[in-house]
Amino acid sequence: MSHHILVVEDEETILELIRYNLRQAGFTVGDAMDGEEALVYVEKHHPDCIVLDLMLPGLDGLTVCRRLKRNPATAQIPILMLTAKGDERDVVTGLEAGADDYVTKPFSPKVMLARVNALLRRAETGGRSSQGTLTIHNIILHPGKREVTIAGLLSELTYTEFEILNLLARHPGWVYTRNQIVEAVRGDNYPVTDRAVDFQIVGLRKKLGEAGKFIETVRGVGYRMKEE
């Protein structure tokens, strides 16, 4: 069976563009043109992925996203957010509302399809284990031993540096805001603040040496691990 994608977009021309490209790629596509309609559709059909515009009549996309992510029955459905080009505040707010990835308008249909496929692959595998050994860009992470080796050489990382690297490396290509990183690595004995994330990234890149270039800064948003 083909994957079922819900497109939530109130501009007919953009809706048709997305719908056409998804169908050409073999997906089954449903659509909604406002937030209330989207919530009803999800409850009834439970799509495999949602392409969600932020600017919607009635309930906006952020509200829809938050409601879906707070509901255990729909929290695992990946959401690709559509946002206005260059509106960094929307991107940050959308990611922190629970969106799994984003595409800025105007967008390339090929990029949009690639993002949807990436979200579906991650959903099908349940995400990469946060405990298993992982290799990416010649970096090997072993959470059990809390060891990181780069090109065969052991790198000594602090607790926070290791947690940040582990988070980014297990979701390559995914952008994390500073607040999301704080929430993911914060512990009672290891306080992390929003501003401190930037300093942690600087230190982490230095310790990774040449591999540090694979931790990319997304201006105005946060950080991501470059995809292989």
CATH number of the domain enclosing 29: 3.40.50.2300
Tell how strand 215-218 and strand 222-225 pair up.
Answer: antiparallel
117 and 157 co-located in one domain: no
| Ramachandran class of 152: left when φ > 0, alpha when ψ lies in -120 to 50, beta otherwise | left
211 and 142 co-located in one domain: yes
8 and 71 co-located in one domain: yes
Asked whether the predicted pLDDT for residue 61 surpasses 60, the reply is yes
Contact between residue 20 and residue 56 where contact means Cβ atoms under 8 Å apart: no
End-to-end CA distance of the chain: 29
16 and 96 co-located in one domain: yes
Domain's final residue, options 101, 125, 149? 125
210 and 115 co-located in one domain: no
Q: According to the model, what pLDDT value does residue 189 have?
A: 46
Asked whether the predicted pLDDT for residue 134 surpasses 80, the reply is yes
160 and 109 co-located in one domain: no
Element (H, E) at 96: helix 88-96
Q: Report the CATH number at residue 170.
A: 1.10.10.10
Of 73, 77, 81, which Cα lies nearest the Cα of 122? 77
User: What would the mean pLDDT of 72-84 be, rounded to a whole number?
Assistant: 89
What's at 101, amino acid-wise? D
25 and 111 co-located in one domain: yes
36 and 109 co-located in one domain: yes
106-131 tens-digit pLDDT: 899 999 999 899 888 877 755 444 56
Element (H, E) at 31: strand 28-32
40 and 95 co-located in one domain: yes
What value does the mean pLDDT of the chain take? 87
Q: According to the model, what pLDDT value does residue 171 have?
A: 87
116 and 182 co-located in one domain: no
Give the three-class secondary structure for 216.
strand
139-198 tens-digit pLDDT: 999 887 788 999 888 888 887 888 899 999 988 888 898 888 887 776 544 456 667 889
Contact between residue 49 and residue 116 where contact means Cβ atoms under 8 Å apart: yes
173 and 211 co-located in one domain: yes
Of 63, 11, 100, which Cα lies nearest the Cα of 19? 11
141 and 183 co-located in one domain: yes
**Peptide linkage before 72 cis (omega within 30 of 0):** no
Which residues, 6 or more positions from 219, have their beta carbon under 8 angstroms from its beta carbon? 88
Q: Range of 71's domain?
A: 4-125
Number of domains in the chain: 2
